[in-house]
């Protein structure tokens, strides 16, 4: 659960380190967005989680693209 300020700090650190990185922003995706049980767990434990199928699919595609590029 990262704030946009935290993200900006991370990006600045990566730039300073001259790291090859990419940030994928998934609109309205909550923590646990790729876990189909996230909504159940959110209710069960009273925390801000939520499954989001479109974000899950986009993140999976991005991971596959990265792995194909690296390997």
Query: Using CA atoms, how far apart are residues 51 and 29, in angstroms rounded to an integer?
Result: 8
At residue 7, the pLDDT reads 95
Scan for tokens 């993200």, then name that residue: 7
For residue 1, pLDDT over 80 is answered with no
Q: Give me the half-sphere count of Cα atoms (radius 13 Å) on the Cβ side of residue 22.
A: 7
At residue 2, the pLDDT reads 84
pTM of the prediction? 0.80
pLDDT digit string, tens, across residues 6-47: 999 999 999 999 999 999 999 899 999 999 999 999 999 999
- Backbone torsion region of residue 32, taken as left when φ is above 0, otherwise alpha when ψ lies between -120 and 50, otherwise beta: left
Q: Place 62 in a pLDDT band, splitting at 50, 70 and 90.
A: very high
Considering Cα of 14, then 16, then 20, then 25, what sign does the dihedral take?
A: positive
């Amino acid at each position: 659960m990262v704030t946009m300020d935290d993200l900006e700090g991370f990006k600045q650190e990566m730039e300073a380190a001259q790291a090859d990185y990419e940030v994928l922003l998934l609109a309205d995706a909550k923590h646990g967005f790729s876990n189909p049980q996230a909504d159940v767990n959110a209710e069960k434990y009273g925390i801000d989680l939520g499954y989001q199928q479109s974000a899950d699919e986009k993140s999976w595609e991005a991971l596959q693209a990265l792995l194909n590029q690296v390997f």
